[in-house]
Amino acid sequence: MSHHLWLSRLAFVFVSSISFVSVVNMIVDPYGVFHFVAKPHFNIVKRHVASDRMTKLYYLARIKPRALLLGSSTIGSFESTDLERYAPAPAYNLALGGMHIREIHAYLTHAASRYPVKTVVIGLDFFGFFGHDANHELDARFVPERLRRRIYVEDYLVALFPFDTFVRAFKTIHDNRGDQRGFQYVDYETGTFLWNRANTVGPPRHSIDEYRMKQLCEIYSTHWSSRVVENVRYVKKMLEFAESHQIDLRLFASPSHLTSFALIARMGLGTLYARWHRALAEVTAYYDFGGANSITNDAGNFIDTLHLKPEGGRLIFARLFDDRSIPVPADFGVPITQATVDNHLAALQFDHRPARRFECSSIRSPS
């Protein structure tokens, strides 16, 4: 065979292979970017967790929500339909894994500038106020350009070409045939993070708990804690934005299981935690669902140490929107204002003992 002919055949095989993969990726659309084909039992359900920052944005554009839930995965399990009891439908859970307060602000302004958002509920996490480090693996996932540009070409390239996407396409088809085996996934239609109950391949609960504690250890020990109070400015910005756009904005400090709350004391961050609450109280009134209370004391109320079950979200909405028809434990959700914050902090029991079995240096990834 001549070299010329060999080159032609090489080019043919190469272009055909790339085209085949791209066409499959575009049709199955595992990241929900194109939405050309949406067939039940084929590709209608997209559940890839790691693509949440990309995929939720494209679902947002299709759903055009009127109510939003924003925050880290600590509110990821909350069901948007529960929020629709108190806010105009459709509601969307825009929680993203490890969402930083800067990112919450960016997503709020993005969504509310493009869609008819009237109600926003934001869960605030202490760890979400630590210094945002673009070089840290968690924070590096936030891509401001994705929100600024009308068309973010990189997303289309990622959705079209990579071999990973091709593999994900087959997993998507598999998921849609009812054989979902991942132990965690996202229902992108509502934005809710889900746990696959039937799953038998996922790590055991204690292993996930340890992993969550490790994530907190990393954030508490590697991020700039000096930025915590300074970053409250994003809350102030969001309040101003909400006022100017006539948005009903409700804020609360997210609950987590007592062990992860105890880690704050264990790592010597109790004073900073108090300063964070005081800084928040200076700019707005909010509810605190954290600390020790009848919900956070019981590990059974949590999927793992950081993540409350959806019923907890229902209780939080009832408290935020003053729904007396749902019985909420009296100690779950303390209203905080500048006048009450000191009393509230004085009543918090900073006990590091529940976290004493966790050693930040030796915790492994779940196996």
Partner 1 sequence: MASLKTYSVENNGVNARRKNSSTTPNARVVACETLLGAVDDTTRRVLFEPLSMLFNSYEFLFLFLPLTLGVCFYLASAWNPLLPRYWLLLASLIFYSWWNTRDLPVLIVSVILNYTLGARMTRLAMAQGSLGRRRRLLALAIALNLAILGTFKYGGPLGHGLPLGISFFTFTQIAFLVDAYRGDAKDYRFVDYALFVTFFPHLMAGPIIYHKAIVPQLEANGFGRPSSANLALGSFLFTIGLFKKVILADTLAAWANAGFSKVDTLNFVEAWTTLSCYSLQLYFDFSGYTDMAIAGAQMFNVAFPSNFHSPYCATNIRDFWRRWHMTLSAFLKHYVYIPLGGSRNGAWRVAAAIVATFFLGGLWHGAGWTFVTWGLLNAAAVLVYDGWRRTKVRMPSLLAWSITFLFINIAWVFFRARSFSEALALLRALVGYNGIVLPAPFARFIPSESPSLTYEPNVSAVLGHIGGSIYTFLWVLGGLMLALTVRDVDDLAKRFTTTWVSAILTGLLAAVTILSMTQPTQFLYFRF
Selected from 51, 190, 259, 260, the binder of partner 1 by CB under 8 A is 51
User: Helices in the chain by DSSP H: which ranges?
Assistant: 3-28, 52-63, 80-83, 101-114, 144-148, 153-160, 163-176, 205-222, 233-244, 258-266, 270-283, 310-320, 341-347
Instruction: Find the shortest distance in angstroms from Cβ 210 to partner 1.
Output: 11
Kindly state the DSSP code that residue 350 receives in the 8-state scheme: -
Contact by Cβ (8 Å): 308, 216: no
CA 101 centroid distance within chain: 11
Cα distance between residue 191 and residue 94, in whole Å: 6
Selected from 43, 192, 231, 254, the binder of partner 1 by CB under 8 A is 192
Question: Strand runs (DSSP E) across 300-341, as ranges?
Answer: 302-304, 307-308, 334-336
Contact by Cβ (8 Å): 32, 58: yes
Of the candidates 290, 269, 278, the residue with the CA atom closest to the CA atom of residue 225 = 269
Footprint of partner 1 on 97-126 (CB under 8 A): 97-98
Selected from 157, 230, 335, 347, the binder of partner 1 by CB under 8 A is 157
Instruction: Find the shortest distance in angstroms from Cβ 102 to partner 1.
Output: 13
Selected from 3, 150, 324, 357, the binder of partner 1 by CB under 8 A is 3
Closest to partner 1 by CB, 4 vs 357, is: 4
Contact by Cβ (8 Å): 154, 283: no
Instruction: Find the shortest distance in angstroms from Cβ 307 to partner 1.
Output: 5
Footprint of partner 1 on 220-279 (CB under 8 A): none
Instruction: Find the shortest distance in angstroms from Cβ 52 to partner 1.
Output: 5
With contacts defined by CB under 8 A, name the span among 36-44, 226-234, 237-245, 289-297 that binds partner 1: 289-297
Half-sphere exposure of 124 (CA within 13 A, CB side): 29
Contact by Cβ (8 Å): 192, 93: yes
Helix axes 233-244, 270-283, angle to 10 degrees: 20
Number of amino acids touching partner 1 (CB under 8 A): 87
Selected from 82, 125, 288, 304, the binder of partner 1 by CB under 8 A is 304
Closest to partner 1 by CB, 75 vs 345, is: 75
Selected from 315, 318, 345, 348, the binder of partner 1 by CB under 8 A is 315
Footprint of partner 1 on 337-366 (CB under 8 A): 361-362, 364-365
Cα distance between residue 201 and residue 132, in whole Å: 34
Instruction: Find the shortest distance in angstroms from Cβ 50 to partner 1.
Output: 4
Selected from 84, 248, 282, 311, the binder of partner 1 by CB under 8 A is 311
Selected from 77, 119, 172, 231, the binder of partner 1 by CB under 8 A is 77
Query: Counting contacts by CB under 8 A, is residue 143 touching partner 1?
Result: yes
Query: Counting contacts by CB under 8 A, is residue 200 touching partner 1?
Result: no
Kindly state the DSSP code that residue 149 receives in the 8-state scheme: S
Query: Counting contacts by CB under 8 A, is residue 52 touching partner 1?
Result: yes
Contact by Cβ (8 Å): 131, 227: yes
Query: Counting contacts by CB under 8 A, is residue 29 touching partner 1?
Result: no
Instruction: Find the shortest distance in angstroms from Cβ 101 to partner 1.
Output: 16
Query: Counting contacts by CB under 8 A, is residue 31 touching partner 1?
Result: yes
Query: Counting contacts by CB under 8 A, is residue 23 touching partner 1?
Result: no
Closest to partner 1 by CB, 65 vs 313, is: 313
Query: Counting contacts by CB under 8 A, is residue 180 touching partner 1?
Result: no
Helix axes 258-266, 270-283, angle to 10 degrees: 110
Cα distance between residue 183 and residue 201, in whole Å: 7
